């Protein structure tokens, strides 16, 4: 009896969690007449018309291309910058090490708007507004602290014997890092790459203000919400397409996602 109740509560919570996504999918498969039908329809003749319309719209394709360029660029630079720094922070004792660690963690407490205003001013002066370079720089800045922090805890988990053996063989720290540490760090690097990609793909505020006329999908969707009020079917299809890579990441890399969201506090 008790376990039936337990299962009941857990499944109700699962239903509550899935329902909005189900409803989005449901709406994306409806003809306009079904979308606005009262009462709302759960069963109807599904159509892919919304998807074909969205995938043939050059503006929508443009949003996706922009988002992809920004997310991939951000991921590459975040990995390249955070990996070496994290290794040194994890393995070497030097003055200021713990200060840097604290500084990185404290970035989680900074409200995005406080960072956004100076970015806006700097980008306005340097002409980086509405450029790929500008958007990538901003997103690297947003994700770098998370990347360094997670990579640092990954390196801390590696056995110290690796470096000891390498140094007995006379390898320099740089050689050790490149030929011993990096090859066995693929899973850690993959984790921060995936997280950076996901967070950049989903990001809205910085993309809106720094790239308003070079819109990512999130910004494009936001602009459509305003004046295309009743084209729910179209927007739902675009939103579902936007969720596809996200769902793939969730299914394949669930554990990494947990670590990224909790800054590694939960393994």
Site string for other proteins, 93-132 (x = CB under 8 A): -x-----x--xxxxxxxxxxxxxxxxxxxx-x--------
Among 1, 56, 92, 159, binds other proteins (CB under 8 A): 92
Residue 15: Cβ within 10 Å count: 10
Q: Does 164 bind other proteins (CB under 8 A)?
A: no
CB proximity list for 34: less than 8 A, separation 6 or greater: 41, 44
The reply on whether position 166 binds other proteins by CB under 8 A is no
Cβ–Cβ < 8 Å for 124, 212: no
State the Cα–Cα distance between residues 198 and 264, nearest whole angstrom.
16
Among 72, 131, 173, 182, binds other proteins (CB under 8 A): 173
Q: Which of 33, 61, 133, 250 binds other proteins (CB under 8 A)?
A: 250
Judged by CB under 8 A, the residue of 137, 150, 166, 237 near other proteins is: 137
Of 45-53, 58-66, 126-134, 141-149: span binding other proteins (CB under 8 A):
141-149
Query: Where does this chain touch other proteins (CB under 8 A) — which range of 57-65, 68-76, 127-135, 258-266?
Result: 258-266
Task: Say whether the peptide bond before residue 39 is cis (omega within 30 degrees of 0).
Answer: yes
Best CA proximity match to 133, nearest among 65, 223, 66, 60: 66
- Told to check if 168 binds other proteins by CB under 8 A, we report no
Q: Are 119 and 138 in contact, with CB atoms under 8 Å apart?
A: yes
Helix or strand run (H / E) with residue 53: helix 49-55
Query: Under rule CB under 8 A, which residues in 22-81 are in contact with other proteins?
Result: 23-24, 27, 36, 38-40, 80-81
- Gyration radius of the chain's alpha carbons: 23
* Token digits of residue 81: 């910058």
Supply the minimum distance, in Å, between the C-beta of residue 56 and other proteins.
Answer: 20
x/- track of binding to other proteins for residues 177-216 (CB under 8 A): x--------------------x--xx-xx---x-------
Nearer to other proteins, 62 or 112 (CB): 112
Contact 108, 263 (CB under 8 A): yes
Q: What is the smallest separation between the CB atom of 142 and other proteins, expressed in angstroms?
A: 9
Contacts of 131 (CB under 8 A, 6+ apart): 211, 214
State in angstroms the smallest separation of the CB of 161 from other proteins.
19
What one-character DSSP code corresponds to residue 151? Answer: H
In the list 71, 128, 140, 192, the residue contacting other proteins (rule: CB under 8 A) is 140
* Tokens matching residue 86: 């994290």
Number of shown-chain residues binding other proteins (CB under 8 A)? 98
């Amino acid at each position: 009896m008790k376990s039936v109740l337990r299962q009941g509560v857990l499944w109700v919570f699962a239903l509550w969690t899935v329902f909005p996504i189900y409803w989005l999918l449901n709406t994306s498969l409806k003809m306009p007449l079904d979308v606005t039908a009262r009462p709302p329809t759960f069963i109807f003749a599904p159509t892919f018309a919304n998807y074909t319309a969205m995938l043939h719209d050059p503006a929508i394709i443009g949003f996706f291309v922009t988002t992809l360029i920004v997310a991939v660029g951000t991921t590459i630079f975040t990995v390249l910058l955070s990996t070496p720094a994290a290794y040194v922070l994890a393995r070497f004792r030097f003055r200021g090490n713990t200060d840097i660690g604290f500084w990185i963690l404290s970035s989680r407490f900074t409200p995005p708007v406080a960072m956004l205003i100076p970015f806006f001013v700097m980008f306005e002066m340097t002409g980086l507004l509405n450029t790929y370079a500008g958007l990538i720089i901003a997103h690297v800045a947003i994700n770098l602290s998370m990347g360094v922090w997670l990579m640092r805890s990954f390196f801390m988990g590696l056995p110290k014997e690796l470096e000891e053996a390498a140094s007995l063989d006379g390898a320099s720290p740089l050689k050790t890092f490149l030929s011993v540490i990096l090859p066995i760090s693929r899973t850690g690097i993959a984790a921060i790459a995936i997280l950076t990609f996901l967070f950049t793909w989903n990001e809205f505020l910085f993309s809106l203000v720094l790239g308003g006329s070079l819109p990512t999908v999130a910004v494009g969707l936001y602009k459509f919400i305003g004046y295309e009020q009743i084209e729910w079917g179209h927007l739902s299809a675009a939103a579902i397409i936007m969720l596809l890579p996200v769902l793939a990441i969730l299914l394949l890399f669930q554990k990494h996602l947990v670590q990224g969201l909790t800054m590694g506090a939960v393994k």
